[in-house]
Structure 1
């Protein structure tokens, strides 16, 4: 049995390794050793997360997927959560989350009956917390949209100010031939912003 830790943050501006200390402390307290860590900056509302699926591909039956909280694993819609759960179940991976005490027993190697009881209870709680995480995500998005709409109606909304220094650096890196991945990792920009600057740069070069 291998313990594989999954660490995720939603944006490149956030520290995906923030929870490493908590996961390491949990493993030490339970006499476990983390064999590998998989780290990425992707939204938990997306099913397409390369490092998560690399983790699952590396797993053997009985391996543990260790996360700080269930929402690090999923803020997915019900259909996408069902797909991810099917993949986890097919690989016979045990999900252990620090915020889900019913899962902690799965990090041990109990007898077959105890393991099945732990798994049954944990699966139910995992589904509940995944649903709560999704609702929290949708509620925050709704409140943000309502706040933006209210600000626009009152003439107070100005949008996010352009970070001219960063955008100039991004344009310079594009001209120097850096890859998009290098630029995103180096500046923390999104692919959408990078594509916008690349289009503007190409248009300016064509006009020039």
Structure 2
């Protein structure tokens, strides 16, 4: 029996990577399935080496499903890195299901008898569309990086660039919850942020930057 393994990713420590968990749980349930393992991390999708993604690949068995909210949660990789990841998943016998790619949803219906030719055709269409969405995701990443660099350069020339500033109100609430004895994970859940954000707030406070 194939296992459903959900992968959740956010780009920065200030984002909640587990935000889409309930949506993925509902999606799996609607297809008569249950997520057996969750892999959550805060890393750029343009980074080929990701701890939780690698753990998923190590844990998975042939025929398992990698479930994601959107293709860009899995990849904003360059073409070469995406081809490498796609090849590793194919070699492991994994199938990717993305909520934003309807052609991939058939992989959730394990156990259904199907026409072998039709299944191969669907896989081919799905692979093509997955490649297209991966390319769009990378282009969006490159465009945002370019616009960000242009904005920073413009701000520097005008003497307005101060770098990214911490959310002082959020950090104040984090520190208050930690003083009350809440764990890092509990504080992150109450605030709606990642554990890394809690640790960052405490580090800045210790450095006297709060």
TM-score under structure 2 length normalisation: 0.77
Equivalent residue number for residue 189 of structure 2: none
Deviations along 1:115-153, one digit per CA (max 9) or x if unpaired, are 212211110000000000000000001001111111111
- Paired residues of 2:9 and 2:40 also in contact (CA < 8 A): yes
Confirm whether residue 119 of structure 1 aligns to residue 123 of structure 2: yes
Q: Among residues 174, 181, 198, which one is paired with 1:187 in the alignment?
A: 198
Give RMSD over aligned pairs: 2.6
Whole-angstrom distance in 2 between the partners of 1:162 and 1:100: 36
Give 5+ residue unaligned stretches, structure 2. Answer: 176-194
Counterpart for residue 99 of structure 1: 100
Match of 1:159 among 144, 157, 163: 163
For the pair 1:71 / 2:72, whether they are aligned, the reply is yes
State the distance in 1 between where 2:75 and 2:29 align.
25
Please give the alpha-carbon distance, in whole angstroms, between the structure 2 residues aligned to 1:104 and 1:31: 12
Once residues 25 and 79 of structure 2 are traced to their aligned partners in structure 1, the CA distance between those partners, rounded to angstroms, is 31
The alignment partner of 1:19 has SS state of: helix
- Find runs of 4+ consecutive structure 1 residues off by over 6 angstroms: none
Residue in 2 that maps onto 1:206 = none
Counterpart CA distance in 1 for 2:95 and 2:166 is 44
Greater relative contact order structure (CA < 8 Å, 6+ sep): 2
Instruction: Count how many residue pairs are aligned between Structure 1 and Structure 2.
Output: 179
Asked if 1:85 corresponds to 2:86, the answer is yes
Distance 1:98 1:119 in 2: 16
Please, what TM-score do these two structures have when normalized by structure 1? 0.78
- Cα separation, partners in 2 of 1:25 and 1:9, compared to 1, 3 Å: same
Residue 187 (structure 1) shift? 3.2
In structure 2, C-alpha distance between the alignment counterparts of 1:189 and 1:101, rounded to whole Å: 38
